């Protein structure tokens, strides 16, 4: 509703709101946004404002430092890894255990180069966004991991850049069940690409 008001105020050429008839998960929604975007660079950002748009200069610098971009493809990821010690101090033992368990699975099964795969602040060149998102299968919370796994397999250069981040209440993640689902998705990513069930080729965009 807030976004629609901005649409009316500034016009749909500057602000567009996309609606999904069926809930496709966060990954499915972001994928639709990417394929509807028009810029040379595409920024993913969570709607809760946990990461401020002022930090776009940091991720832009990270992208710039990756030049020359092979086939105009590069990705710059905002990261909260530098805040991990503080966040551990505020979390319960159980949530800390789940966090480290998830980080280990991500590292062991999928992505070794990036410490924080789940920060929702990512800047991609248009070519990198279209190439990775057209291959994407996971539509739930772990879609970021598959995105970076695909990028690594395709040898797309990736930067990890420290950004400011504030925890916002109201997360839809239910710690145990969400982590269990994400762990299952990580296994799917690794096994299905290893067995050839999923290919690194462009899927039909729907």
- The pLDDT tens digits of the residues spanning 1-47 come to 888 999 999 998 889 999 889 998 899 999 999 999 999 999 999 88
- 83 vs 47, more confident: 47
pLDDT of 168 over the 90 cut: no
Please give the share of the chain, as a percent, with pLDDT higher than 70: 87
Token duo for residue 53? 């748009």
pLDDT of 173 over the 70 cut: no
Tell me how far apart the alpha carbons of residues 160 and 146 are, in angstroms, rounded to a whole number: 16
Confidence of residue 88 (pLDDT cuts 50, 70, 90): very low
Q: How many helices (H) and strands (E) does the chain have?
A: 8, 4
pLDDT of 129 over the 60 cut: yes
146-150, 163-167, 197-201: least confident range: 163-167
Q: Are 40 and 127 in contact (CB under 8 A)?
A: no
pLDDT value of position 179: 75
pLDDT value of position 89: 43
Q: Are 76 and 122 in contact (CB under 8 A)?
A: yes
**Sheet with strand 75-79: strands edge to edge:** 41-44, 122-125, 75-79, 158-162
In angstroms, the Cα distances linking 102 to 46, 74, 92, 107 are 20, 25, 15, 9
At residue 161, what are phi and psi to the nearest 5 degrees?
Answer: -125, 130
pLDDT value of position 47: 83
- 168 vs 92, more confident: 168
Confidence of residue 178 (pLDDT cuts 50, 70, 90): confident
pLDDT of 120 over the 50 cut: yes
pLDDT of 174 over the 70 cut: no
């Amino acid at each position: 509703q807030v976004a629609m008001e901005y649409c009316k105020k500034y016009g749909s050429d500057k602000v567009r709101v996309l609606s999904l008839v069926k809930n496709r998960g966060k990954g499915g929604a972001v994928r639709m946004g990417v394929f509807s975007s028009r810029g040379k660079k595409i920024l993913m950002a969570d709607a809760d404002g946990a990461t401020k748009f002022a930090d776009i200069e940091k991720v832009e610098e990270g992208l710039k430092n990756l030049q020359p971009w092979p086939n105009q493809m590069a990705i710059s990821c905002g990261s909260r890894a530098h805040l991990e010690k503080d966040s551990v101090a505020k979390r319960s033992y159980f949530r800390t255990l789940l966090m480290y368990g998830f980080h280990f699975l991500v590292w062991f099964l999928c992505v070794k180069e990036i410490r924080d795969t789940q920060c929702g602040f990512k800047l991609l060149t248009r070519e990198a966004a279209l190439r990775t998102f057209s291959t994407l299968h996971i539509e739930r919370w772990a879609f970021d991991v598959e995105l970076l796994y695909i990028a690594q397999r395709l040898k797309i250069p990736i930067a990890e850049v420290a950004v400011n981040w504030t925890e916002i209440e109201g997360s839809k993640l239910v710690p145990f069940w969400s982590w269990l689902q994400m762990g299952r998705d990580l296994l799917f990513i690794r096994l299905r690409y290893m067995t050839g069930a999923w290919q690194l080729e462009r899927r039909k965009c729907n």
